[in-house]
């Protein structure tokens, strides 16, 4: 066997590990209108956003829900609206809930970050912490995922707003991962904080439209994934000051077919995994719970275009296998989280969007 064939065989073998049993799926409610994100509260209850500008408290046992008031005004045209929601890691003590949304501003709209304290059925003392500037007259690529790392820093993803060169401009928040203190202040050790030609909130750049973020349970680092164009969806591990390439490096192509850029460029950080053709990833969660030992060491990712839940099996920072769950359901999977009892919780992006509970089959 030639060396080329040996390498190819080894690669295929790594992704040919037998598929485990599909999970048991239970629909908790199908009364959500294009939900975008979910987060768990310390008592096990859920908060779920809808793009049209609603935030729901949801009982995970019954699907009962109540509207939460005190929300910002959103611009829900196209891909905009009320987007991510995240409870502070110390929510039991401080009641902070974080939101991202597409909001109007001079010149168009922008990805916004804000927080309020959840008291009963209302967010009180709500404040806008950050607006990703410049504002752009566009309805796409808001990014908007949130995650706290182990050190308590808040990471926020921002898409390129459909204008790709913004992702290489350090004077522009769009197309980047931003890093904050929990109160919205910019950390003094952010990589570009001392550069007058750069935005101090930027942690990494060269991102197209990152719609997934999660914190690795062992390393405490934030991982993200992002949409490519025609192919080239990526899983990345943001690092301080690093350029992740868009649009000067990509595995994707123009929608009409031509090549955009090489898939490797010196000095540019590449993905640890990519999907070509695209799956349109959205939402992500690491599994680290004793309830399902067979799921340990997995990263779960929703797929909008290919309509499944992807299970990536990991060895450290390498993807060593991938399975596709729920393909036969043809649901657009928008977000996924691990619940306090070890079940996977998934929302589907439809007018009759579902909240699903997945347990080992």
Active site residues: 141
Q: Which residues touch 258 (CB under 8 Å, ≥6 apart)?
A: none
CA dist 284 and 292 (Å) reads 17
Residue the block writes with tokens 């997945």: 358
Beta-carbon-side half-sphere exposure of residue 86 (alpha carbons within 13 Å): 24
CA dist 147 and 191 (Å) reads 19
Spatial contact of 268 and 244, defined as CB atoms under 8 Å apart:
yes
CA dist 84 and 24 (Å) reads 26
> 3-state secondary structure string, 81-122?
CEEEEEECCCHHHHCEEEEEEEEEECCEEEEEEEEEEEECCE
Residue 327, classed as helix, strand or coil, is helix
Laid out side by side, the sheet with 154-158 consists of 146-148, 154-158, 176-180, 202-205
Q: How many residues does the chain have?
A: 361
Take residue 70 and report the two structure tokens written for it. 């005190």
Closest of 213, 360, 237 to residue 301, by C-alpha: 213
Spatial contact of 249 and 259, defined as CB atoms under 8 Å apart:
no
Spatial contact of 173 and 201, defined as CB atoms under 8 Å apart:
yes
Take residue 161 and report the two structure tokens written for it. 């707003």
């Amino acid at each position: 066997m030639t060396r080329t064939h040996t390498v190819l065989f080894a690669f295929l073998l790594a992704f040919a590990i037998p598929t485990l049993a599909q999970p048991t799926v239970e629909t908790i409610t199908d009364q959500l209108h294009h939900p975008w994100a979910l987060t768990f509260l310390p008592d096990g209850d859920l908060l779920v956003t809808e793009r049209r500008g609603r935030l729901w408290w949801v009982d995970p046992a019954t699907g009962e829900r109540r509207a939460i008031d005190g929300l910002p005004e959103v611009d829900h045209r196209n891909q905009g609206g009320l987007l991510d929601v995240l409870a502070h890691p110390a929510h039991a003590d401080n009641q902070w809930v974080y939101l991202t949304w597409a909001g109007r501003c001079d010149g168009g709209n922008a990805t916004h970050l804000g927080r309020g304290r959840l008291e009963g059925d209302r967010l009180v003392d709500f404040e806008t912490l950050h607006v990703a500037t410049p504002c752009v007259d566009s309805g796409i690529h808001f990014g908007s995922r949130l995650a706290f790392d182990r050190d308590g820093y808040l990471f926020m993803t921002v898409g390129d707003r459909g204008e790709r060169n913004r992702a290489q401009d350090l004077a522009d928040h769009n197309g980047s991962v931003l890093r904050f203190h929990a109160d919205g202040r910019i950390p003094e050790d952010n990589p570009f904080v001392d550069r007058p030609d750069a935005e101090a909130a930027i942690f990494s750049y060269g991102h197209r439209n990152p719609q997934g973020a999660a914190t690795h349970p062992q390393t405490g680092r934030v991982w993200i994934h992002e949409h490519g164009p025609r192919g080239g969806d990526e899983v990345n591990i943001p690092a301080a000051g690093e350029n992740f390439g868009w649009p000067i490096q990509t595995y994707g192509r123009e929608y009409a077919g031509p090549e955009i850029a090489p898939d490797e460029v010196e000095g540019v950080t590449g993905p640890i995994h990519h999907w070509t053709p695209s799956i349109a990833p959205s939402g992500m969660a690491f599994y680290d719970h004793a309830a399902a030992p067979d799921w340990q060491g997995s990263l779960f990712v929703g797929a909008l275009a290919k309509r499944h839940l992807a299970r990536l099996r990991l060895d450290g920072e390498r993807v060593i296998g991938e399975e596709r769950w729920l393909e036969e359901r043809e649901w657009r999977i928008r977000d996924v989280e691990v619940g306090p009892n070890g079940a996977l919780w998934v929302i589907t992006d439809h007018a009759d969007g579902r909240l699903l509970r997945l347990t080992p089959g």
